[in-house]
Chains A and B, each alone.
Chain A
Amino acid sequence: MQVTAKDTADLRLGSLEELEQLRGELRAAEDPDQTRIIVCHGTGCIANGSAGVTKALKAALAAAGEDIEVMPGIKTTGCHGFCSRGPLVIIKPKNIFYQQVKPGDAEEIVQKTIKAGETVERLLYEHPQTGEKIETTEDIPFYAGQQRVVLANIGQIDPTKIDDAFRVGAYAGAAKALTNMEPKEVIEAVINSGLRGRGGAGFPTGIKWNLAAKHEGGQKYVLCNADEGDPGAFMDRSVMEGDPHAVVEGMIIGGYAIGADTGYVYVRAEYPLAIKHLEKALVDARAYGLLGENILGSGFNFDIRINRGAGAFVCGEETALMRSVEGKVGEPVPRPPYPSDKGLFGKPSVLNNVETWANVSRILDKGADWFAGLGTEKSKGTKVFALVGKVNNVGLVEVPMGIKLREIVMEIGGGVPGSDHFKAVQTGGPSGGCLPWQDADLPVDFDSLIAAGSMMGSGGMIVMDDRDCMVDVAKYFLGFLEEESCGKCFPCRLGVPRLRETLNRFSKGQGTVEDIDDLYSLAEAIKAGSLCALGGTAPNAVLSTLRYFRDEYEAHILEHRCPAGVCKDLITYSIDPEVCTGCRACARACPQNAVTGEKKKPHTIDESLCIRCGMCFESCKFGAVQVQ
Chain B
Amino acid sequence: MLSLTIDGKKVEAEAGWSLLDTARQYGIEIPTLCYHEAVEPFGACRLCVVELRQGNNSRLVASCVYPAEQGLEVHTASEKVNNVRRWILEMLLSECPASSEIREMAAQYGVKTTRFEISDPEQECILCGLCVRACAQVVGANAISTVGRGAQKEIGSPYLTPGDDCVACGTCVTVCPTGAMSARFERVRGVPAVVMARSVKG
Contact = CB atoms under 8 A, between A and B. Distances in A.
B88 A493 contact: no
Contacts of A497: 151
A159 interface: no
A486 B88 contact: no
A531 B47 CA distance: 12
Interface stretch (A70-78, A222-230, A441-449, A517-525): A517-525
Interface stretch (A98-106, A164-172, A477-485): A477-485
A501 interface: yes
Interface stretch (B2-10, B38-46, B170-178, B189-197): B38-46
B191 to A, nearest CB: 28
B149 A531 contact: no
Contact of B127 (A334, A487, A526, A530): A487
A175 B126 CA distance: 54
Contacts of B77: none
Contact of A334 (B65, B86, B91, B95): B65
A535 to B, nearest CB: 9
Given A494-B91, A498-B91, A531-B62, A483 B46 contact: no
A336 B52 CA distance: 14
A528 interface: yes
Interface in B81-113: 83-84, 86-88, 91-92, 94-95
A483 B150 contact: yes
A601 interface: no
A623 interface: no
B123 interface: no
Interface residues of A, number: 32
Contacts of B43: 333-334, 489, 531
Interface string A268-295: 0000000000000000000000000000
A525 B84 contact: yes
Interface in A131-168: none
A494 B33 CA distance: 15
From B44, B87, B127, B145, name the one whose CB has the most chain A CB atoms within 10 angstroms.
B87
B151 A482 contact: yes
B67 A336 contact: yes
Interface string B116-127: 110000000011
B151 A495 contact: no
Contacts of A482: 150-151
Interface residues of B, number: 37
A493 B46 contact: no
Nearest to B127: A487
A525 B87 contact: yes
A55 interface: no
B119 to A, nearest CB: 10
Interface string B52-80: 00000001101001110000000000001
A488 interface: yes
B49 to A, nearest CB: 6
A329 interface: yes
B120 to A, nearest CB: 14
B146 interface: yes
The residue in B46, B66, B91 that gathers the most chain A C-beta atoms within 10 A of its C-beta is: B46
Given A336-B67, A483-B150, A494 B88 contact: yes
Interface of A: 312, 314, 329, 333-334, 336, 482-491, 493-495, 497-498, 501, 518, 521-522, 524-526, 528-531
Interface of B: 42-47, 49, 59-60, 62, 65-67, 80, 83-84, 86-88, 91-92, 94-95, 115-117, 126-127, 129, 145-146, 148-153
7 contacts: A482-B151, A493-B150, A501-B116, A529-B60, A529-B84, A529-B87, A529-B88
Q: Which are the 9 A-B pairs with shortest beta-carbon distances?
A: A487-B153, A529-B84, A494-B91, A485-B150, A334-B43, A525-B87, A487-B150, A334-B65, A525-B84
Given A482-B150, A488-B44, A498-B91, 7 more contacts: A314-B149, A333-B43, A487-B127, A490-B47, A493-B150, A521-B87, A528-B59
